[in-house]
Structure 1
Amino acid sequence: MAFFDIVQPGSKTAAPDERLLQNLKDYTSMSLTLLWQRQAIYLAATLLTAFYFDPINAALFYVTILFCEVQDIMLARRVAALLPRQTDAIYSSLIWILLNTMLSAAAICLFAISVAFEQESGGHFTPLFFLFAAALFAAMNNHQLVMALTIRLAMYGLSFFIIVLRDLWLHRPDLDSELWLHFFTVVFVMYFLIDCSIVFLKLYQKNLKQLEALREEHERTKAAYIVKSQFISTVSHELRTPLTSIKGSLDLLNSGTMGPVPDSMQKLVEIAGKNALRLSHLIDDVLDLQKIEAGEMNYKITMVDVNALLDEAVSGNSGYGNTYGVTITEDCPPDETMRIRADESRLMQVLNNMISNAVKFSPEGSEVTVGCKRFSDTVRIYVSDQGSGIPEGVKHKVFDRFSQLDSSDQRRAAGSGLGMSISKEIVEQLGGTIDYVSELGHGTTFYCDFPACGDSDEQWLKGTFGSL
């Protein structure tokens, strides 16, 4: 079986060099991960044999193993920096890894055989166990590189048979002797090790197939997302141009500039104007959402006078409140000026969303309060309504995209479900937090908290911030 066929059978996207590089990276990564575990095993084996057998032989073994470990570390760093197009470097790294594998396996095999030769025939538990441990470790952890695994198992298996066949050759025992039992046990152990290697290899291949499938699905998803983004952006911009003309014409009719509208048409023109405004807001929300997802939402940070901002928000939304029969009032401390660092236009967008929601969910004749408060080093901007309130356990719906609460009031409050989600993104990008408190039957208060600024911060702001 060819090495490349072992790695990712059936893969349609990964080239052989890419698959080989993936195997090398997985193999060397595992080697680094298990570095100290191997060192503990090697050191324990060295100390045991140094005490009970030959200390010089044990020292030579450990020095050789340390040299191989250093080579493994260097090769792992080299492989980690490789790219798929570096074909020559990939195959060169493979050769060096295999050579170092041969040296490491040879050191372990010669060490075990030398210990066995110092013992009496049949009493080879220690060296055989060392070989078994090394082979099992390889079966469990070297399956990423089949050639390296094959080299180790072949060399360890040969060492097993050298030890037991030497006893059979020297003593030529009968078939019912313990020496023959050792031989057949070694055969069974080799079968067990090979079977374990195949199991781990199949699991690794399965994981690679799943990883490749995930990568392909990720690429398809990215491509679909790009197409979707381009489509939404194009359609939104194409809709905005005629909608602007339609909305402007309807505004002229509603304002009476073009002359009085017949009574029979007045209601229809007003409805058309309201829906044109709703559609305009929906397109704006979709475009903002697109900018947020693409990471293209820009913020111009300035020093914002919160009191002045709220004055503008209240006056700008009063007419909207009147259409619902709701009064919008302001509640700010008259003797205290509050400043924060923010993008004024984006913060006004958040306020408009909060006020719009409060008005839509408030009963006719009620009041919406827009205010601000100072808490130590924090400025809170809030919007309170006297609506039916928000039930517990639905906060995720309030700030989710395209999500609206299922309540009786919702029937009179149409919308895309994007406003509060976009507001949350904006507030968090500006370094603030947004949340709400609500009580059923008594209304809801949405609020944003921002770090407060003093007069001394204005000069620092001018020198530090341009745009986020």
Structure 2
Amino acid sequence: MTFVAVPLPLLLVGLVARYTGVTAAGWALITVAVAAAALSAAVAARWCAEQRLRSDVARHERELVHTKRQILALVSHELRTPVTGVVGFSRTLSGRLDALDHDTLRLFVDAIDEHSNRLARLIDNVVVASRTPLVVVGGTCQLSTALSKAVARVGVDPDGARLQVALEGSLDACIDEEAAIRILANLIDNAIKFGDPEARIYLDGHVRNGHVVIRVANAGPAIPLGLRSALYDPFVQGDTTDTRTADGLGLGLHVCRQLVEAYGGSIHLVDHPRLTVFEIGLPAARVEPRRQVELPRPRRGPDARDVADGGRPSGRRPSTDRLVDHTPATVPTRRARVG
């Protein structure tokens, strides 16, 4: 703009010089000085803006490097723990198999199973969290069945006193079963890690306004208000990275939200005075009632015989039978894929 505006005052110098005592050369010098000052100010402002931009970029790069190191350290620690357990117990079994009694063998096998399941859940959450956009597969499932499998995957005794379940029916929802198991397993695992060790975990489910609603609640320390806005961000837990006491990568709730929203549902933290309650809602799968279908009999030819008429040729027109289709029809859902 400065270079465009400079010629205009120069053109006006001649006109001004005719009505003032200043010569045209004097006005030209004044105009050039003003233009030079404006240009210098513009250059200085641009230089300051570039310096601020470089400073911001450098700060973001330092933060990125720091975050990357934290994530790598966290992932290495969380993966090393179950791997060490599996390797340690398996080597002991391999070296002392004949010397161990049945109870000890059972203890070692259970420990290997627990560590391997934990490792599988960690890797599964990392894989799901790294996929953008998330590819899901359509279908319907019974959340009551998915809940039973999720409890088994986490390793909680379904008949134990710690788990209290109250479901209203089978709770058919528009979601792939494996995705439902992942969601419920992460919520249950989250309740175990951050709840009181001896407190009960409550799970209840019902249908409300066309959605299947599942709530997972546990007693324990309340989630700090400052962390609630970032609760579903990846690698975030209910405590800070330097002081975290619970295992895990902080991906459980992040994966839950990704999967729930991918299937048209929602997840949120419910305000409760004594419990930490997470509630998910998924579209309910509508099952049509059994319907009657009329199927015509094949038309009989002139030589066809009716058993009811003693084998005599029948000249009657074919009748119809009312048959009941016992196959429940579900509402088709959108096609997607959970990988």
TM norm structure 2: 0.62
- Percent identity of paired positions between Structure 1 and Structure 2: 18
Please name the residue that 1:88 is paired with: none
| 1:98-155: CA deviation from partner (whole Å, max 9, x where unpaired) | xxxxxxxxxxxxxxxxxxxxxxxxxxxxxxxxxxxxxxxx32xxxxxxxxx2x651x2
2:213 to 377, 380, 402: 380
Gaps of 5+ in 1: 1-137, 140-148, 169-177
2:282 to 447, 450, 465: 450
- State how far apart, in whole Å, the 1-side matches of 2:139 and 2:258 are: 18
Q: How does 1:36-435 map to 2 (within 5 A)?
A: 138-139=1-2, 149=3, 152-153=5-6, 155-165=7-17, 167=18, 178-180=20-22, 187-207=29-49, 246=87, 249=90, 260-261=101-102, 274-289=114-129, 291-292=130-131, 295=132, 297-314=134-151, 317=154, 319-321=155-157, 326-334=161-169, 338-363=171-196, 366-385=199-218, 387-393=219-225, 394-396=227-229, 398-406=231-239, 413-435=246-268
- State how far apart, in whole Å, the 2-side matches of 1:197 and 1:465 are: 61
SS in 2 for 1:300: coil
Runs of 4+ in 1 over 6 A off after TM superposition: 212-218, 242-245, 256-259, 265-269
Residues 14, 24 of structure 2: 8 Å contact kept:
no
| Per-residue deviation, 1:209 | 6.5
Residues 186, 256 of structure 2: 8 Å contact kept:
yes
Are the structure 2 counterparts of residues 322 and 448 from structure 1 closer, same or farther at C-alpha, using a change threshold of 3 Å? closer
Residues 378, 451 of structure 1: 8 Å contact kept:
yes
| Per-residue deviation, 1:433 | 1.8
- State how far apart, in whole Å, the 1-side matches of 2:48 and 2:149 are: 62
Residues 164, 179 of structure 1: 8 Å contact kept:
no
TM norm structure 1: 0.48
Please name the residue that 1:124 is paired with: none
Q: Cα RMSD between the aligned structures?
A: 4.9
- State how far apart, in whole Å, the 2-side matches of 1:321 and 1:345 are: 20
Residues 150, 182 of structure 2: 8 Å contact kept:
no
| 1:307-340: CA deviation from partner (whole Å, max 9, x where unpaired) | 43334434555x52479x6532332223xx6443
| Per-residue deviation, 1:299 | 1.4
SS in 2 for 1:399: coil
- State how far apart, in whole Å, the 2-side matches of 1:367 and 1:224 are: 41
Are the structure 2 counterparts of residues 159 and 454 from structure 1 closer, same or farther at C-alpha, using a change threshold of 3 Å? same
| 1:202-226: CA deviation from partner (whole Å, max 9, x where unpaired) | 32355456657878998x89x989x
Residues 166, 203 of structure 2: 8 Å contact kept:
yes
More helix by share: 1
Quick one: higher RCO (CA 8 Å, sep 6+), 1 or 2?
Answer: 2
- State how far apart, in whole Å, the 2-side matches of 1:314 and 1:186 are: 87
Residues 326, 362 of structure 1: 8 Å contact kept:
no
Are the structure 2 counterparts of residues 194 and 160 from structure 1 closer, same or farther at C-alpha, using a change threshold of 3 Å? farther
- State how far apart, in whole Å, the 2-side matches of 1:298 and 1:258 are: 50
Farther off after superposition, 189-198 or 356-365:
356-365
- State how far apart, in whole Å, the 2-side matches of 1:416 and 1:428 are: 21
* Counterpart amino acid of residue 126 in structure 2: V
Residues 432, 451 of structure 1: 8 Å contact kept:
yes
Are the structure 2 counterparts of residues 196 and 273 from structure 1 closer, same or farther at C-alpha, using a change threshold of 3 Å? same
1:436 to 248, 269, 275: 269
Are the structure 2 counterparts of residues 455 and 276 from structure 1 closer, same or farther at C-alpha, using a change threshold of 3 Å? closer
- State how far apart, in whole Å, the 1-side matches of 2:221 and 2:270 are: 9
Residues 432, 449 of structure 1: 8 Å contact kept:
yes
* Counterpart amino acid of residue 335 in structure 2: F
